[in-house]
Each structure stands twice: as C-alpha cells, then as structure tokens.
Structure 1
Amino acid sequence: MSDWGPVFVAVVLFILLTPGLLIQIPGRQRLVEFGNFQTSGVSILVHSILYFALICIFLLAVGVHVYVGS
C-alpha cells in the first residue's frame, strides 16, 4: 500500500495558497483581496511561509495518512 496523504495535503494546500488565485495576503489595495489574479513579491513570501507552516503541521504534527491500493 502506498501512502498518498503527503501528496494529497501538498496539492490541496498548493491550490488553496497560490497567491492571487483564491486569496492574496497582502493585497495591492487592502490587506486581504479575493480572486484578483495579481501577485507581488511580498504576497509570494507570505504565502510560502503559510504553506510551509501548514504542511509541517499536517504532515508532522497531525500525521495525515491516506492509503490507496491493495
């Protein structure tokens, strides 16, 4: 059996935390902007730090495991 938990968590977090796709922190005019499809260097840094923190929490602290196969 293969453990697909880390792959699933990484893909979902990457989709949710892509700057400018769903949410952008900090935005260009406001602190939080939704769906503006624009990004900046600061927002890339903030989203990278959030991604790293959340992936560490889900994979190391919680230990998400999804087993697929026989």
Structure 2
Amino acid sequence: MVDWGPVVIATVLFVLLSPGLLIQIPGRNRPLEFGSMHTSGASIIVHAIVFFGLVTIFLILLGVHIHTG
C-alpha cells in the first residue's frame, strides 16, 4: 500500500504558496499583494517558512494519509 498523503499535500501547498501566484508577503509596494506575479528574496523566505509550517501541521500533527493499492 502506498501513502500519497505527503506527496499530495506538499504539491498542493507548493503550487498555492508560490510567491506572487495568489498572494505575496511582503509585496513590492505593500505588505500584502494579491496576484502580482512578481517575487523577491524576502517573499521567498516568508513563503518557505509558511510552507514548512503548514506541511508540518498537516503531515505530523494531523497525520494526513491517502492510501492506494
């Protein structure tokens, strides 16, 4: 049996938390920008920390598992 939970959660969060796609923290002109399609070094760091935190919550604390086979 294969556990697809970590793969699905990490892929979805990676796409949704890409800086500039949906939201950018911090933005270029404001602290928060929506759909700007731009990025900066600071926003990459912030989004990486948020990604790591959410992956930790979903996979370790909640124990999300999707079994196939």
Aligned equivalent of 1:3: 3
After superposition, the C-alpha distances for 1:34-56 in whole angstroms (9 at most, x for unaligned) are 11110000000000000001101
Cα deviation for residue 31 of structure 1 reads 1.1
Aligned equivalent of 1:38: 38
TM-score (norm. length: structure 2)? 0.96
Letter in 2 for 1:26: P
Q: CA RMSD in A?
A: 0.6
Cα deviation for residue 20 of structure 1 reads 0.6
Letter in 2 for 1:60: I
Gaps of 5+ in 2: none
Alignment partner of 1:27: what SS?
coil
Gaps of 5+ in 1: none
Aligned equivalent of 1:58: 58
Identical-pair percentage: 62
Aligned equivalent of 1:18: 18
Aligned residues between the structures: 69
Letter in 2 for 1:50: V
Alignment partner of 2:29: what SS?
coil
Alignment partner of 1:39: what SS?
coil
Cα deviation for residue 68 of structure 1 reads 1.5
Whole-Å Cα distance in 2 between the matches of residues 59 and 65 of structure 1? 8
Letter in 2 for 1:66: I
Alignment partner of 1:36: what SS?
coil
